[in-house]
Structure 1
């Protein structure tokens, strides 16, 4: 039957929804108008254009002659940066309702200009990430396959973009970009996380990397790895250090296998290997190995032997 014939009184639902909105806004002291919040749909278009400008042939689907590639990049980049500026202006308008001093109208344009200067280095970083994936996964047949098909590369590409914007002072826009990646890949990387060169997430689904995590160079993670915090804020008293440095430090050349959960400001030393399904709340020395079922930290000769064994079993 047609909806107009449905016996439910839609006017009652509309009134209940209005009451819920009014109660929420009253509790929030009336701040923040929805119209001033950045748009996820518009930011998705911005990211599509940025990705096309970064990789015009493989991800931008440019199929013209080589001499026309720059013109294609210019069109997509101009559209992306114009849209990005509008979204950052919306973010600033949103925060303005809580700010003591007014935002300078030129700040959004300045951030976009600084961000544009980061795009060349971002492209270089992602190229290195693709190389790391090709070296780390014997199932890969080409760099093009990795860039187009691997969710870990999509997630790190989005993160490199979001991290730059987060550092330049557009945290909501950056967070929306990270959530776009999460929706597409199942990989949740906070834009504040610091990630080094040649980073590879194999398979990827369920990986979570927190805001204050620091990851070195040539690190490899597998699916369902969590680099998280130990205690939710507001549940227990925490120090300033625990508030601002809540997540793990993973040094260079570390491999973390599927299902490992590492919590708090612990340090995983250079060259260490963390086995699958490990729950870890303490530091691991350089070259150390943590493995199930005993979940003990090994060192020296025993660690060297298990280290090589685990690496040999990689996908």
Structure 2
């Protein structure tokens, strides 16, 4: 065999012993999640006996995934985590229902719950987050992050599984939203596309500190707004206008908007302006 290939194979082998591995095929996790959603929101109504059987089967797959990821832990520990997670499912389901109802109640483009469940990327991203967040409180493993990155890849909405988000929560359109790890969001908050709830600075030494903002209840954050900083608090009932940049706390009932005015020209009268110059 080619010497360079042999040398590289040895390097790979050595590094894989030092945990440079994927640990699990992500498709197993995605399949488990999709199966869980088919149980929670089925295509047609199921009787309680069918649901119970499907949940038990889904739980068995979940235990197998946990055991495969956490190779140093016993199956009994994985089973204990699974027991705790599935006990939380009724509460998670209630939160999902409230999220969907809030979207239906506030979005004039939404006609029914089925439309939201089937086609709203914001709803999907929120519910994957809720599942991932619940798991992250029970075990420190790759599973929650893989789940939210799956939602990120499908929707363009990046929610860290350890963020804290109240119920209900509304994401409209959603593409390009980023919600950081230590973000805290209250109840009845609405966020539009392109919003970033991020850190003022990114340093590894800040790993254990609150780096992302707090958004209190009944806040609306419009498209492409950026809110940064762990000490930044957006007071309740505030409105953050589109394309704004916020790094300081706001009192309740604040209204933030861009101060720059639009320039309106008559295209027939202006002939020498290059609108595409950089």
TM-score bin, normalised by smaller chain:
0.7 to 0.9
Partner of 2:109: 139
**Aligned match for 1:71, one of 49, 70, 74:** 49
* Number of positions where the alignment pairs a residue of Structure 1 with one of Structure 2: 260
Q: Secondary structure at the match of 1:106?
A: helix
Deviation string, structure 1 residues 114-155 (Cα, Å, up to 9, x no partner): 000111111100100011111221011111111111100000
Deviation string, structure 1 residues 205-262 (Cα, Å, up to 9, x no partner): 111111111100000000010111121224xx64xxx742111110000000000111
Partner of 1:121: 91
Question: Which blocks of at least 5 consecutive residues in structure 1 are unaligned?
Answer: 1-10, 97-102, 296-315
Aligned equivalents of 1:132 and 1:272: distance in 2? Answer: 18
Question: Which blocks of at least 5 consecutive residues in structure 2 are unaligned?
Answer: 262-278
Does the 8 A contact of 1:216 with 1:250 survive in 2? yes
Deviation (angstroms), 1:172: 0.9
**Aligned match for 2:60, one of 72, 82, 86:** 82
Aligned equivalents of 2:41 and 2:161: distance in 1? Answer: 21
Aligned equivalents of 2:215 and 2:36: distance in 1? Answer: 29
**Aligned match for 1:31, one of 9, 14, 18:** 18
Cα distance change of structure 1 residues 76 and 257 upon mapping to structure 2, 3 Å threshold = same
Does the 8 A contact of 1:262 with 1:279 survive in 2? yes
Question: Comparing 74-83 with 263-272, which one deviates more in the overlay?
Answer: 74-83
Deviation (angstroms), 1:105: 4.0
Normalised to the residue count of structure 2, the TM-score between the two structures is 0.86
Aligned equivalents of 2:10 and 2:219: distance in 1? Answer: 51
**Aligned match for 2:240, one of 262, 269, 274:** 274
Q: Secondary structure at the match of 2:126?
A: helix
Does the 8 A contact of 1:46 with 1:79 survive in 2? no
Deviation string, structure 1 residues 39-72 (Cα, Å, up to 9, x no partner): 210001110111112112xxxx23xxx5x52233
Aligned equivalents of 1:82 and 1:29: distance in 2? Answer: 28
Aligned positions of 1:154-303 closer than 5 A: 154-234=124-204, 238=206, 243-265=208-230, 266-293=232-259
Aligned equivalents of 2:56 and 2:249: distance in 1? Answer: 46
The alignment's C-alpha RMSD in Å is: 2.4
Normalised to the residue count of structure 1, the TM-score between the two structures is 0.76
Does the 8 A contact of 1:38 with 1:173 survive in 2? no
